[in-house]
Amino acid sequence: MTMSKLEIKKDFLWGVSSSANQIEGAWNEDGKGMSIADCEKFNPSSSKTDYKSVNKMTTTQIKDAIKDSSSKLWGKRHGIDFYHQYPKDIKLLASLGIKACRLSIAWSRIFPNGDDLEPNLAGLEYYDHLFQELRKYNIQPIVTLSHYEMPLNLLLNYDAWYDKRVADYFVKFSKTVIDRYHSVVKYWIPINEIDSILRHPYSSAGLIEDRFKGKNFNTILYQAMYYQFIASSEIIEYIHTNYPDNKVGSMITSTMVYPYSSDPRDVLKAEQIMNETLEFSDIQLRGHYPKSLILRMKKLGVELRTTSEELRLLKNNTADFIGFSYYSSICAAADTHGLKLTNANRITGVFNPHLETTEWGWQIDPIGLRLTMNKLYSRYQKPLFILENGLGARDDLTKDKRIHDKYRIDYLQKHIDQMMIGIKEDGVEVLGYCIWGGIYMVSASTTQMSKRYGLIYVDVDDFGDGSYKRYLKDSYYWYKDFISESE
Ligand code: BG6
């Protein structure tokens, strides 16, 4: 018997996970406004590990994107056409036996320009139907309020998340959907991977360096990050006050970091890199900035604009659980000269010779998940929620329309095994586990379709061409059997 067959709590949420901008498509339908995601272009000439085109954007690239009304290379404009096909897709997901489905509500569907006085009814109706569909199968929606899809107008006519008014618009959008869906949604995540603003400020916060000429860009980044925390706290306060049976989670990118050697300098480096992410959950779980972050900001010449009301919000409204994504690990060395480097979820690190590596350079490390769980749980003593875990790989559709993704089954099985050990032997409390991409989606970092996640294959290529038909992968049948056996 593998560890994964061990008995687990009845209310454990086995699920799948996605974001609106990576699956919905219909980028300009039913009143939806253009979002920052709609401006991310697939670059056929860039190498698989060269993510620069999406991590950073320029004003010229945005202007070009606005002029081009096609959806060819703009993968997030067509996604997998979930917007039109969701009833069939949810039926397929339901037959896996999942209990939870994490998704995001596209801000630009509800407030197309971000600063609109009234919400777009057609956008709300779409999510009404989507949630009804999930309820039909007893699947709990877990909702992210901001997953890389800010309305573009807030970048063009405001200063994106650097602008306090934008944070206020986000809170207004959030309250609108929380009021409407609080009875069907129990778990809310204000901002996906809140730490990602430092690695990809454009997709996380709509920040483009050339729009802040003459200013210290670090000040822009850290101020925007502060407003993301304040907006999250306001949302937590709103939910706790009005809908006390709803829970709010923090959400960080949890990439495990190992010292490359036993040289104490490497150990220190690993600790520092890991802490740079943990500082984000520290803020959301402890209600204040850790000293190390304050000192680092000082070194960078950053002076935050704060008010006492904002600091009160931060202090009094901490998260109920710790959501995180886990895909990979890296090594850290004090001196990386001559060492082979690798990339895990847009974090550059030193290559670990003990691990396998995907075609996109992400190293596969199931034990890293258990270590991450232990680190987070011992630090905060609050329940964890594994909101993303999965493998991005090239999948081949065979002539008889099958996808034999044994590599993905291995990946998932081994990670689930480690999660189970973490729960059973280390005593870590975990609310649920969601596979990233129950159904396939466009990659966040490269806007590629050929880096495939999930259990259901969609026939669409990097250029948006294909029948958009769905095919069940071997991993689909594996997860289905696994869930039924764990019950
Ligand atoms: C997570 C993001 O960090 O990583 C997802 O929340 C993303 O949006 C996932 O899709 C995998 O990354 P990528 O770049 O391979 O799509």
Q: Which of 71, 16, 29, 89 minimizes the C-alpha distance to 458?
A: 89
Mean predicted confidence (pLDDT) in 83-91: 98
Q: Which of 128, 169, 205, 149 minimizes the C-alpha distance to 36?
A: 149
Measured in Å, residue 443 CA sits from the centre of ligand 1 at: 6
Residue 192 Cβ contacting ligand 1 at under 6 Å: yes
Beta partners for residue 259, in sequence order: 332
Ligand 1 pocket test target in 436, 439, 447 with most atoms within 8 Å of CB: 436
* pLDDT over 90 at 77, yes or no: yes
pLDDT tens figures, 332-367: 999 999 999 998 888 899 999 999 999 889 999 999
The label of the residue with tokens 């901490």 reads 318
Give the tokens for residue 10: 């009845």
The residue whose CA has the least distance to atom 9 of ligand 1 is 444
pLDDT band, very low/low/confident/very high, at 195 (cuts 50, 70, 90)? very high
Measured in Å, residue 310 CA sits from the centre of ligand 1 at: 30
pLDDT tens figures, 98-118: 999 999 999 999 999 999 999
Ligand 1 pocket test target in 24, 443, 447 with most atoms within 8 Å of CB: 443
Closest atom of ligand 1 to 346 CA is 14
pLDDT tens figures, 4-45: 555 678 899 999 999 999 999 999 999 999 999 999 988 877
Residue 259 Cβ contacting ligand 1 at under 6 Å: no
pLDDT at 1: 43
Residue 445 Cβ contacting ligand 1 at under 6 Å: yes
pLDDT band, very low/low/confident/very high, at 48 (cuts 50, 70, 90)? low
Residue 451 Cβ contacting ligand 1 at under 6 Å: yes
Using alpha carbons, list the distances in angstroms from residue 267 to 151, 257, 274, 341. 41, 10, 11, 17
The residue whose CA has the least distance to atom 16 of ligand 1 is 443
Task: Report the percentage of the chain scoring pLDDT > 90.
Answer: 89
Give the tokens for residue 430: 């975990």
Q: What residues contact residue 124 under an 8 Å CB cut-off, 6+ apart?
A: 110, 176, 177, 180
Would you kindly state where each structural domain of the chain is located, as residue ranges?
Answer: 3-486
Residue 253 Cβ contacting ligand 1 at under 6 Å: yes
ipTM of the complex: 0.98
Residue 223 Cβ contacting ligand 1 at under 6 Å: no
Measured in Å, residue 193 CA sits from the centre of ligand 1 at: 10
Phi, psi angle pair for 114, to nearest 5° = 85, -40
pLDDT tens figures, 146-176: 999 999 999 999 999 999 999 999 999 999 9
Measured in Å, residue 305 CA sits from the centre of ligand 1 at: 31
Residue 444 Cβ contacting ligand 1 at under 6 Å: yes
pLDDT at 477: 98
Residue 358 Cβ contacting ligand 1 at under 6 Å: no
Measured CA to CA, the distance from residue 55 to residue 204 in angstroms comes to 9
Residue 19 Cβ contacting ligand 1 at under 6 Å: yes
* Predicted structure pTM score: 0.96
Residue 21 Cβ contacting ligand 1 at under 6 Å: no
- 309 part of the active site: no
Closest atom of ligand 1 to 362 CA is 15
Phi, psi angle pair for 194, to nearest 5° = -60, -20
Using alpha carbons, list the distances in angstroms from residue 6 to 128, 318, 477. 37, 33, 19
Residue 443 Cβ contacting ligand 1 at under 6 Å: yes
- Asked whether the CA dihedral 33, 185, 255, 280 is positive or negative, the reply is positive
Residue 281 Cβ contacting ligand 1 at under 6 Å: no
Q: What residues contact residue 67 under an 8 Å CB cut-off, 6+ apart?
A: none
The residue whose CA has the least distance to atom 10 of ligand 1 is 444
State the chain's mean pLDDT as an integer: 95
Measured in Å, residue 263 CA sits from the centre of ligand 1 at: 32
Closest atom of ligand 1 to 196 CA is 3
Fold of 3-486: TIM Barrel (3.20.20)
Mean predicted confidence (pLDDT) in 472-484: 97
Mean predicted confidence (pLDDT) in 291-300: 97
pLDDT at 345: 87
Residue 104 Cβ contacting ligand 1 at under 6 Å: no
* pLDDT over 90 at 2, yes or no: no
Measured in Å, residue 445 CA sits from the centre of ligand 1 at: 7
Measured in Å, residue 374 CA sits from the centre of ligand 1 at: 23
Ligand 1 pocket test target in 148, 363, 388 with most atoms within 8 Å of CB: 388
pLDDT tens figures, 404-459: 999 999 999 999 999 999 999 999 999 999 999 999 999 998 898 899 999 999 99
The strand pair at 430-436 and 470-472 is best described as unpaired
Ligand 1 pocket test target in 18, 280, 445 with most atoms within 8 Å of CB: 445
- Weakest mean pLDDT among 54-63, 83-92, 261-270, 470-479: 54-63
The residue whose CA has the least distance to atom 15 of ligand 1 is 443
Q: What residues contact residue 188 under an 8 Å CB cut-off, 6+ apart?
A: 142, 143, 144, 145, 178, 235, 239, 246, 247, 248, 249
| Catalytic residue (one of 24, 133, 234, 388) | 388
In terms of C-beta density within 10 A (0-12 exposed, 13-18 middle, 19 or more buried), how is residue 125 classed?
exposed
* pLDDT over 50 at 51, yes or no: no
* Secondary structure (3-state) at 85: helix
pLDDT at 432: 98
In terms of C-beta density within 10 A (0-12 exposed, 13-18 middle, 19 or more buried), how is residue 202 classed?
buried
